[in-house]
Structure 1
Amino acid sequence: MRLPLALVALSGALLAAATWAVTLGQADIGAGQVWASAVHHTCSAVGAPCGADPLTTIQDAIVWQGRAPRVVTAAAVGAGLALAGAVMQALMRNPLADPYLLGVSSGASVGAVLVLVLGVAVALPVAAFAGALAALVLTLALATGRTGSLSPVRTVLAGVAVAQAGSAVVSLVIFWSATGDSYREILSWLLGSLAAATWGDAALTAGATIVVGAVLLGSARTLDAFTFGDVSAASLGVDVRRARWLLLTATALLTGALVSVAGSIGFVGLVLPHAVRFLTGPRHHRLLPVSALAGAVFLLLADTAARSLFEPRELPVGILTAAVGAPVFALLLRRSAT
């Protein structure tokens, strides 16, 4: 009964946080108005008779073109990063593994900087996703080498090498080409920001999280087998090489899709799985869904705080996730050592 209860509680928390985030701002809009407007739009979409929209034209635009897509994007990115972190920690058997371990974030940053600084005629999410995919291919190629096998240690080392190379390219391009306000745009993207989220971004991140998340959730028993090492997993009937390739690729593609929209948001995929394990234990059929919902709630609250704490200025959400995640991770490490 504990797992259904946790899922129901977190789903309720997510719904409450989303409602609060949509109503928070300079425009005076209540939760009841938002839900009544949602019913109105739903009725209109299906052609059912419904009353007038309780929101004015300006309020409707603020809610449904400004705040709502950002809320959906934040929840989807948080859920996806937490899922990816839990899977990476199991596959690598490394408690410090996170979604950016394979150099995906640095590859996405290279693609984004080429657009922001050099004016490459490609949409920023497309360029960032292409960079993330290129980094993934390079990391896996280096990790396999001549042996053709994919070991956790080689994969981590290859990911670190690709990440450092990507960071060097980003630094070089910024130093050589950035002028004027382009520094501010680049810094905002590199620190993670959801300020420009649209319904297209919400669809991309939610779609990637749902599709890849379904694959990851279906691999819970395989991930449990990896916990005991490759030999034990093979003795339990797992095709170790194929499973690791499939799950690493799926995780990296999910991360690339999320990073292409939100930028580099740290600590969500690292801290949330560890925190959730204290509640669910290590079994992945419990850990993965609870981590996803906890990540969605956490990033949604962090993004809401980032846009409202220092209004009218807005912080990159990556600053807040790091400010919260670093001490929480230190606390978890201290607690696990006692």
Structure 2
Amino acid sequence: MIYTINTATNVMFPVIKSVFKLSDEEVYRMINNEHSKLLDKLQKKGINYSELKRALIPNQKKENNEVCLVFDTMQIKEDFYGNEVFDKLLPLMDKDSTYSVLIGDYIDILGEVKDSQKMLFQNLKESIELVNETIFRYSNQYFIVYINSITDGQLSSIIGGLKEYKAFTGYAFLRTDSKFKSYLSYILSDLCVKNKNTVICSHPSDLDDNTNINQKGYHFEENGFRLKSINEDYYGTFLSYKIETILPDPEDVSFSFNALFPRFDSMEKLALDIPEGKWGYINDEEKGKGKILHTIGFDYQKKKKFFRNGIQKKLW
């Protein structure tokens, strides 16, 4: 079972498919063959792939949270502010949970969009639970740590331990879709998969598989974690958590389907067969995805028009 495949940020498979003009059946075999190699690499390092499921798929349990922690680097004197942040954060991370950690600055990738900084400030303001005072000067001043599956108790311990740290601006719950969450999906990058007391990172593809190196330099081992690293080509493709977004990469979605089906035509030609009960849940604005559907122009009476190509016309 392949829990995730990421070809949006790791272009190895798209490039190979394009250069060698592979059929979907050949792509299917290639993906599954490479995934088998990943399992072997993990096993040799004492890592059970099945234990990583929670870290690699979107949160399925209501009692777990998808959350980001926001830090104001203007209140950090150290140039390598990530080191200071993780020196505060790592001692607060328990040794029982499993989740993915992504990091990055709240950079502006909106180019020439008018008032982009105002938009980014507004999205942050609407999402964050403020813990310490901050003065917004520009978006880049904020460093974000994203955790994809953490319980209330685990999160409470982290927030409680950080609240006196002035650079800790606050946190945002990201259980549901939002502009802020979708934006983060484009700007954050992988740090690690934390499996209990083991931290799994990536290492350059030209290094030996027996290598275990800490490219980021954060003090994992000093805080009681075992560090294991995996070839970045395999890590980036099969161990990279994808933050859910209302604007997914069509090619990435196609490769995800192709990893499951040896004969895959096109995502745009897939019709959806949704039972009435499930359709009602999807339309529910409180429990389901109703707000998103209604935003892009669908409602309960338009089930017959709800096809993948219809959604694409709305989003892309």
- Structure with the higher fraction of residues in strand conformation: 2
- Structure with the higher fraction of residues in helix conformation: 1
Category of TM-score, reference length = shorter chain: under 0.3
TM-score (norm 1): 0.24
TM-score (norm 2): 0.25
